[in-house]
Structure 1
């Protein structure tokens, strides 16, 4: 199917029948902007970002999510960049919450502004949040974030818990020689604060390849270290629906998880889709070229049924094992630019 020449059939069938992938989970980047300068993601200011004039407006996002919902998407996660840098983030959440097919709206944030937004986000329709915190040591956190303080992020976590945006998850990137001495501290935080802590492997996606190579640590090695201090009981879940292998700490005192994106890719059964801040659909973060959704979304000559058919056809091109996965390390792109 081709509408205005924007989707061409390459003659390459999807590896997995699209019906087997439903329901779909969409990660929607609402901005590429982020003030943080994490060393493995965006250590310096980006040379360019999608200008505000080209970012989708809240009502446009609502229309797009309506089409995605009609095509099998039931869960939306708002990402960036830092989504709370969008001054209209509450309107965006409200628009998405009006789509009947969407059962859950989540958001990933660095947490720096979360305390100011948590209650309003909940009222707008947000279900839960993930907060990115790589260190519980104030000085180390400041160094890793590029100059920001830990206290506001922790306040954001507690505000999210108070607002009912749970289960709140902490995303902790494993950095060998930098924060691997805090594994037990994070486990204790999971128990004391009632959050789920997820340890995530560094990924070879950003502009800092030497840093990633130097500090890469497998999730399994982290798990082994933690097992020296805690009893871990695995929770059995469908990895296609949840990339984290989750464990109860000491019989249920807390919960932690491990995401092994590099050492144990979980492509089989993956139901994730991504839309970048400029409206490009990606079936996988390693995909070199996506499908622009803007022409079909804003072409007044395209009817609603054609729009849905187009979206379903575009989604149906998702593969269970992406053909470029083995070459991922050769591609340099920041997670901020693609929706982290």
Structure 2
């Protein structure tokens, strides 16, 4: 590192990559990548209005999906860089029938300390026991309403009972798993349910995260006035819970709060209005094997051709260096647009 504390990098090669002399995966601004979000499919069993159109077509058929062996190899290389945390996303990752195997593979890699999963929960009852046995440490459960009719309006599917029952099942495992409930708030749709979700934290050590709408919704509702920003979410919470106490959270959950008498916490994820770029330590890999250093990157780095052509680990490392080196200092204000039009194409 230099005197500023930033990672010292070797001169860029013709590809523009930067190799860090200490063997870590850091970008040109000294941000160390220690967390990968890996999508295992772009398919989903819901069609949420803030993510996928009903007619959304899957862009990566089975032949273009990363295989179990390819995922294992990628994670092995990333662990060698110091990546410690892996989150499997989608689409809906439980649509991969080998998801427990993927979790087991990841948890077995030296250096990987935490393997987690983001899911809409519809299929969770089928896999939870095998996921726990495989080494899963944390689950983010996405649910935006406790109202059956509203669930149908948001997801375009009549699967509320399964999602609700599976959330209740999951909450029973709060001593074994770190559990977070993701709630995407939309003005005039589900904002009246804030209290209902906060009450999940009263008797269980879970975190409820209220999230802002993002402009990766397959061109559906981003410009319809449904956006609800951090400031308004905070005002709503303070009106309902005047005793709300701020606490210092992680980079993503920087805006976290506790309440007297509650075992859990509440967080606001200002995914659009606030800038977390200076603290970003993550890399996304799509289910088709594209490494994306930033949600707002115009392009990613294709890993699948190298994986399938028998490239050695040094070539995979070079591509990952190149992906991370392209990470902008400030993604949202860099004038970029995401690789995919839907979050399912980007990776959760």
What TM-score do the two structures reach when normalised by structure 2?
A: 0.86
| Bigger mean CA deviation after superposition, 88-97 or 146-155 | 146-155
Cα distance in 1, alignment partners of residues 226 and 315 from structure 2: 48
The answer to whether the Cα contact below 8 Å between 1:246 and 1:255 also exists between their aligned partners in 2 is yes
CA distance in 2, matches of 1:165, 1:118: 12
SS in structure 1 at match of 2:86: strand
1:223 to 225, 234, 249: 234
Structure 1 residues 72 and 226: CA distance shift in structure 2, 3 A = same
Deviation of 1:317 after TM superposition, in Å, equals 3.3
1:201 aligns with 2:197: no
Q: Alignment length, in residue pairs? A: 326
Q: Does the aligned pair in 2 maintain the 1:129–1:165 contact within 8 Å?
A: no
- Residues 99 and 235 of structure 1: CA distance in aligned 2, closer, same or farther (over 3 Å): same
Match of 1:315 in 2: 324
- Give the Cα separation in 2 of the matches to 1:281 and 1:327: 16
> Take 1:194 and 1:235, find their aligned partners in 2: how far apart are those partners?
15
Larger deviation, residues 180-189 vs 152-161: 152-161
Q: 1:235 is paired with a residue of what secondary structure?
A: strand
Residue pair 1:198, 1:244 contacting (<8 A) in 2 also = no
Among candidates 249, 258, 265, match of residue 237 of structure 1: 249
Query: Residue 47 of structure 2 is aligned with which of 37, 43, 63?
Result: 37
Aligned counterparts of 1:319 and 1:205: Cα–Cα separation in 2: 19
Q: Is it true that 1:335 corresponds to 2:343 in the alignment? A: yes
Q: Which of the two has greater helix per residue?
A: 1
Q: 1:158 to 1:325 in 2, by over 3 A?
A: farther
Deviation at 1:298, TM superposition (A): 3.4
Coordinate RMSD, CA, aligned: 2.4
Q: Is the 8 A contact 2:198 2:266 kept in 1?
A: yes
Query: Where does 1:26-105 land on structure 2 (aligned, <5 Å)?
Result: 26-105=36-115
Deviation at 1:38, TM superposition (A): 0.8
Alignment of 1:252-267 (within 5 A): 252-267=262-277
The Cα offsets for residues 303-332 of structure 1, whole Å up to 9 and x where unpaired, read as 334433443343333233137644549x87
Deviation at 1:65?
0.4
Does structure 1 retain, via aligned residues, the 8 Å contact 2:202–2:262? no
User: Could you say which residue in structure 2 is the equivalent of 1:8?
Assistant: 15
Taking the aligned partners of 1:212 and 1:191, their CA distance within structure 2 comes to 35
1:304 aligns with 2:316: no
Give yes or no for the alignment of 1:113 onto 2:123: yes
Superposition deviation, residue 287 in structure 1: 1.0
CA contact (8 A) 1:118 1:156 kept: no
Question: CA-to-partner distance for each residue in 1:132-176, whole Å, 9 max, x for gaps?
Answer: 101011221122111233232232223334445522111000100
